[in-house]
Amino acid sequence: MHEVIHARGHEHVSAEHASTFEVTTDDYLTPAGDCILAIDADRAPTDFDPDFVDACQDETATITVELEANGYTDSVTGRGDPELEFTNERSAVGRTSEYVDDRTIMLEAEFAAEGFDRDLVAALADGADVTVTITVE
């Protein structure tokens, strides 16, 4: 089961954050947003199918987030949790920790923004269109 988000990069994408990564519906990004990989997303967690959300709320669920832009692809895997809400209307956040808020879509991710492929990050910093596919098993 999966959800797809279409977004775009921005000149301020730096992907330097050590514990989170984020995709947002906001249409701007400041240099301080070092966890944000893409902006202007066409969907947010609140838009996801209820069956998808239910599947992610199982602590044994494996959640994978894949980003593809300009021929570069990278993915990160984490886990689900019963506390995941998927209610945020702006941002989807993957976390290396076990912290949960309404933006959280994944816990205990293998890595955060700083771990993404640097060629992919460069494409995002050039403003490339990106497809974000979130899969739950």
* Percent of the chain at pLDDT exceeding 90: 100
80-110 pLDDT per residue, tens: 999 999 999 999 999 999 999 999 999 999 9
User: What is residue 83's predicted lDDT score, i.e. its pLDDT?
Assistant: 98
pLDDT at position 124 is 98
Tell whether pTM > 0.85. yes
Query: Domain locations in the chain?
Result: 2-136
Residue 82: phi and psi, rounded to 5, are -60, -20
> Confidence band (pLDDT; 50, 70, 90) for 117?
very high
Tell me what the mean pLDDT of segment 59-78 comes to. 98
The DSSP code sequence of 88-120 is -SSEEEEESSS---TTEEEBS-S--GGGS-HHH
Please tell me the total number of residues recorded for the chain in this structure: 137
Mean pLDDT taken over the chain: 98
pLDDT number for residue 33:
95
Superfamily of domain 2-136: mth639 domain like (2.60.120.630)
Confidence at 3, pLDDT banded by 50, 70, 90: very high
Confidence of residue 47 (pLDDT cuts 50, 70, 90): very high
